[in-house]
Structure 1
Amino acid sequence: MKSVDNQDISGISEVLADRYRAGVGGRIHWLTYHLHKGRVTEFGEALICALATCENRLPGLGKRLVDELIDTAYTPSAQDPVAWRAGFQQLLQKFAEIVVLRALLEASWPAGAQFRHEPANPTSGRRPELAVELEERVYLFEVKCPSLVDHQTARGANPRQIPARSALGDALRANPDSSEPVTWPRDNVLKDFLESAEDKFSGFSAKDTVGVLVVFWDAYMYEPISALNYPRSGLLTKHSFHQVNGVRVPFDAVDGVIIMNHLAVLHAGAQEQGNAHRPGYFRIDHVDGGLPNVWCQNIGGAQLDPFLMEAFDAIPVEDAGPVEYRPHEFIVWINLPD
């Protein structure tokens, strides 16, 4: 596919920015500050550029994404903090989708690739985020961005953490100690994501299908990696805790999971707190020496193509060196705030 320079999309960017402003009218909305006419922020410029790129590569997609951002409900936090948090989480989910859609539309696909945004699965009626059809196979992508606010609060306060299900975790649950509270794993969230992707991918096409679940997380990458790959209970291992009648649920339509450490980038950018560890808010930059995204392959799943690994700045999880990328059973935090 041809490259897109800034001049190609500058006109589209203006149209999309004006579409957002017209859609929210005079209301205070999530992005009115970032997209205020005449003083668009750095984050706002990055967002509109990503939307314009999507529109340029797949006509109609950028406009649809703008309309979805407009429809994302905003409630002032002072009036209803619960509704505000729910709306902000929904906004982060849309941001995550935009990051992935842009990366996929800009990836080095073979000639003739056909893109469909949220196509209906003929079997289940469920809609994956994107389908990319080649002559010999179909690639399906689903994007998930969990709500981590309460979990992050617990992680920052509790002296002990259980990232994966284990006998030790069972013992701590059976004998709780109120003086040393525990941060529990988010593995049920990953299970739900896998179930959703399985439902959207299974039976989608008579062609060979490659199903990829993309999950956004913060810098604590060992948490989703432990939930997926911990040898004694990980969802993508033969000893998965998710079983029916003693038999592992295999998620056969999901070839693997890409875990993105990009959530902090979006969160910080939206609140003008910097760009965390990657310079591009809505682009998956390849940062020399930076922490990569990872590919966790399912049992029996297809290998992810090298050009897609590059597009997501991902490496196989088993090749990741930092301790933050290894499955853990038990963590003791020290020097927590009083």
Structure 2
Amino acid sequence: MNQDLKSVADQDISDISKILADRYRAGVGGRTHWLTYHLNKGRVTEFGQALICALASCEYRLPGLGERLVDELIGTGYTPAVQNPVAWRAGFQQLLQKFAEILVLRVLLEAPWPAGAQFQHEPANPTTGRRPELAVELEERVYLFEVKCPSLVDHQTARGANPRQIPARSTLGDTLRANQNPNEPVTWPRDNVLKDFLESADDKFSGFSAKETIGVLVVFWDAYVYEPISALKYPQSGLLTEHSFYQLNSVRVPFDSVDGVIMMNHLAVLHAGAQEQGHAHRPGFFRLDHVNGGLPNVWCQNIGGTQLDAFLMEALDAIPVEDAEQVEYQLHEFIVWINLPD
């Protein structure tokens, strides 16, 4: 994009940002809502500015999308924590899911797709009726994306308190489960939630088009990304391996329509930003880059899946999981935590 066109786009996005911020304020009226602090007309926070810019970018590239996302934010139920902490937590989890969708949509819409790419937000699968997050149709193929953001609150609490952790199903884990000592609690894998995500994405992608289809599941997690990676790729039981623990009639469930999973270690960034606790390990709340020592996202390819294009890997700030050398990305069978609080 030349500088003149870039200036026009920047001005358009600035104008759209103001319209969308006003739309949110009008929608919530005078009541306290999730983003009334961040989008206060007198003082928009850094997080609020980043969110509105992401929404405006979506609106600029796919007219109507930014407005729809703002309306969905308005519709996310808010209950003050002092009144009902359970309802507050459920609402905050819905808010994080919406943030995750906004981030991925913004990144994908801004990616350097080949000329002629056609975008559809939540199109209906003609075979199953299910709706993936985004479809991008090219002349020769269709890309489908689904975004998931699990609730990790209880899991994080257990991880912070329990001295032992089993990230993936294994013989050792089976032995520990069979001989549980209540005085030595264990943090168990969150692999069932990943199994559910894969099933949902597979159903949304299957039979979507007569063209070649590339299906990508994007899952948000916190910085402990060895947990989902182990659940997906651990040789003895990983969901994306020949020996997956999820089988029907002793046959692995293959999730054939899911080519792979992008594990996005951005959940803590959104969580911290929404609560005015800083940036965590990335400089942008609704952008993806791991400069200044942050960790990249990783691509976990399914058996028989198509490798994701280089330009999409770069846009999603991802590397193949096999190339990730940091300890946070290594497969683990058993972890003993030390120096836990009394």
Q: TM-score, normalised by structure 1?
A: 0.98
The residue type paired with residue 144 of structure 2 is L
Q: Distance in 2 between matches of 1:160 and 1:297?
A: 29
How far, CA to CA, are the matches of 1:46 and 1:209 in structure 2? 32
RMSD: 1.0
Aligned 1:43-82 pairs, distance under 5 A: 43-82=47-86
Code of the residue aligned with 1:242 in structure 2: it is Y
Counterpart of 1:189, as a letter, is V
Does structure 1 retain, via aligned residues, the 8 Å contact 2:150–2:193? yes
Say which of 221, 229, 234 aligns to 1:230: 234
> What is the aligned counterpart of 2:252 among 232, 248, 253?
248
Q: CA deviation at 1:288?
A: 5.1
C-alpha displacement at 1:286, in angstroms?
4.3
| Structure 1 counterpart SS, 2:44 | coil
> What amino acid does structure 1 have at the position aligned with 2:88?
W
User: 5+ unaligned residues in a row in structure 2: which ranges?
Assistant: none
The corresponding residue for 1:196 is 200
Which string of whole-angstrom CA distances, capped at 9 and with x for unpartnered residues, describes residues 292-337 of structure 1?
1000000000000000000011000000001110111100000101
1:211 to 212, 215, 220: 215
Give the aligned partner of residue 153 of structure 1. Answer: 157
Structure-2 residue corresponding to 1:336? 340
Q: Distance in 1 between matches of 2:141 and 2:312?
A: 15
1:119 aligned onto 2:149: no
Which residue is equivalent to 1:103?
Answer: 107
Shift of 1:6: 3.1
Query: Take 2:286 and 2:58, find their aligned partners in 1: how far apart are those partners?
Result: 11
Contact 2:289 2:296 in 1 (8 A): no
> What letter matches 1:59 in structure 2?
P
**Is 1:287 matched up with 2:291?**
yes
How many residues matched?
A: 338
**Mapped pair 1:323 → 2:338:** no
In the alignment, the residues of structure 1 paired with residue 296 and residue 290 of structure 2 have an alpha-carbon distance, to the nearest angstrom, of: 8
Question: Percent identity among equivalent residues?
Answer: 84
Q: Could you say if the C-alpha distance between residues 124 and 3 of structure 1 is closer, same or farther in structure 2, counting changes exceeding 3 Å?
A: farther
Which of 9, 14, 17 is the aligned partner of 1:10? Answer: 14
Pairwise CA distance, 1:290: 2.3
1:128 is aligned, of 115, 125, 132, to 132
Give distance in 2, aligned partners of 1:103 and 1:177: 46
Q: Is the CA contact (8 Å cut-off) linking 2:132 and 2:146 kept in structure 1?
A: yes
1:129 alignment partner AA: E
1:163-207, Cα deviation, whole Å (9 max, x unpaired): 000111111111111111000000000000000000000000000
Structure 1 residue runs of 5 or longer lacking an equivalent are none
Which of residues 16, 28, 35 in structure 1 aligns to 2:32?
28
Q: CA deviation at 1:8?
A: 2.5
Cα deviation digits, residues 116-138 of structure 1 (max 9, x gap): 00000001100000000000000
Supply the distance in 2 between the matched residues of 1:308 and 1:30 (Cα, whole angstroms): 32
Tell me, in whole angstroms, the C-alpha distance in 1 between the residues paired with 2:123 and 2:303. 26
* Paired residues of 2:260 and 2:302 also in contact (CA < 8 A): yes
Mapped pair 1:38 → 2:31: no
C-alpha distance in structure 2 between counterparts of 1:323 and 1:230, whole Å: 15
SS at match of 1:254: coil
Moved over 4 A (4+): 1-5
SS at match of 1:143: strand
CA contact (8 A) 2:162 2:184 kept: yes
Structure 2 equivalent of residue 171 of structure 1: 175
Greater alpha carbon shift after TM alignment, 58-67 vs 175-184: 175-184
SS of 2:263's partner is: strand
Amino acid in the other structure paired with 1:15: I
The C-alpha deviation readout for 1:9-31, integer Å capped at 9, x for no partner, is 11100000000000001110000
Note the alpha carbon deviations across 1:58-112, whole angstroms, 9 max, x for none: 0000000000000000001111111000000000000000000000000010000
Q: Find the aligned partners of 1:322 and 1:38 in 2 and give their Cα distance.
A: 43
| TM-score (structure 2 length as normaliser) | 0.97
